Amino acid sequence: MTLKKLLKYLAAVCLFFLCFSSFSQVLAETSSSAQIKKIQKAGVIKVGVKQDVPNFGYYSAETGDYEGMEIDIARKIAKNLGVKIEFTPVTAQTREAVMDNGQVDIVIGTYTITPERKESYSFSNPYYTDEVGFLVNKSSGINTIKDLNGKTIGVAQGSTTKAAIEEYGTAHNLKFKFAQLGSYPELAISLYANRIQAFSVDKSILTGYRSAKTKILKEGFNTQEYGIATKKSNTELTAYINDLLSKWTQDGSLQKIYDKYDLKPATSQSN
């Protein structure tokens, strides 16, 4: 084969792969936008949110509207999609069911990312990092986690908090009793009434339930990351959300939302 023919052959091969690559990219872009187009065609994104977590997802009876950091993020997603938003209140017990039955497209409700949950649902990258904390009555004399040894701790049904505390107790030779209730307000009321000795969940959530008679222990542990969840098959939607979260992290949008609600993400593991 002459040099001239060899160069023509190589040019043809390069052109083929260039065209194939471009074609593949077009197919990928078309595929990755399918789930997005479905939401845009419907004109609305349905979002599961908490309604009893001040600063994160809270329904205000005064304004008749939802407010909080997660609500703001959900609205930014809807704005980017160019659609309206429809909120559905969820709890730790119901958030997976509303995804399974298609009642919501995504859930953004202090939903901790775990390996077990990732087996059943598609999670975005973390949008907030927190750690487990304890709210106690100031009059109780409880100042450290060690002081809770043998005491009853209130946790939300369906949350990861109980397992995290039990693991911590095993590692530090502590034993705890538990009361599992259906909502954070119920847990707060039980604490105020001294039916439990501590209300435990992520520290930032506890900030919404402090009163003049309660305090959050300085100690915390088990750093946890919150993610936006959707059905396991909705990986394209998750990728779209990840792109938005990355953009908002870089341009400072997420930080502005944290500042708005005086939220400070956990930065290190506490043991």
Looking at residue 78, which CATH number applies to its domain? 3.40.190.10
Residues 104 and 214 in one domain: no
d(CA 15, CA 20): 8
Number of domains in the chain: 2
159-182: string of b/e by CB count within 10 Å (b at 16+)?
A: bbbbebbeebbeeeebebeebebe
pLDDT at 4: 53
3-state secondary structure of 14: helix
Residues 161 and 197 in one domain: yes
pLDDT at 11: 52
State how far the alpha carbon of 212 is from the alpha carbons of 58, 192, 194, in Å.
21, 11, 15
pLDDT at 7: 47
Instruction: With beta carbons less than 8 A apart as the criterion, state whether 222 and 132 touch.
Output: yes
In a domain? residue 12 = no
In a domain? residue 173 = yes
Residues 111 and 219 in one domain: no
d(CA 154, CA 137): 13
In a domain? residue 271 = no
In a domain? residue 170 = yes
Residues 49 and 109 in one domain: yes
In a domain? residue 268 = no
Residues 101 and 79 in one domain: yes
Q: Where are the alpha helices (DSSP H) in the chain?
A: 3-32, 34-42, 69-81, 95-100, 115-118, 161-171, 184-192, 203-206, 235-250, 253-260
Residues of the chain with pLDDT under 70: 1-32, 268-271
3-state secondary structure of 34: helix
Q: How far is CA 247 from the centre of its chain?
A: 17
Residues 246 and 193 in one domain: no
In a domain? residue 30 = no
What tokens were used for 129?
Answer: 């990092």
pLDDT at 19: 44
Residues 113 and 241 in one domain: yes
Residues 71 and 116 in one domain: yes
Residues 193 and 209 in one domain: yes
Q: Is 112 exposed, middle or buried (0-12, 13-18, 19+ CB in 10 A)?
A: buried
Residues 202 and 254 in one domain: no
Q: Which H/E stretch holds residue 268?
A: none
Instruction: With beta carbons less than 8 A apart as the criterion, state whether 229 and 99 touch.
Output: yes
What tokens were used for 168?
Answer: 């911590």
Which range of residues forms the domain containing residue 210?
Answer: 131-224
Residues 101 and 216 in one domain: no
Instruction: With beta carbons less than 8 A apart as the criterion, state whether 206 and 215 touch.
Output: no
State how far the alpha carbon of 229 is from the alpha carbons of 99, 105, 109, 190, 242, in Å.
9, 9, 9, 30, 11
3-state secondary structure of 85: strand
Task: Kindly report the backbone phi and psi dihedral angles of residue 122, in degrees, each rounded to the nearest multiple of 5, phi listed first.
Answer: -95, 125
Residues 185 and 164 in one domain: yes
Q: How far is CA 178 from the centre of its chain?
A: 24
HSE value, Cβ hemisphere, 13 Å, CA-based, for 90: 31
In a domain? residue 94 = yes
What tokens were used for 104?
Answer: 């919501």
State how far the alpha carbon of 109 is from the alpha carbons of 50, 112, 120, 127, 208, in Å.
5, 9, 17, 11, 15
pLDDT at 93: 86
In a domain? residue 123 = yes
DSSP 124: -
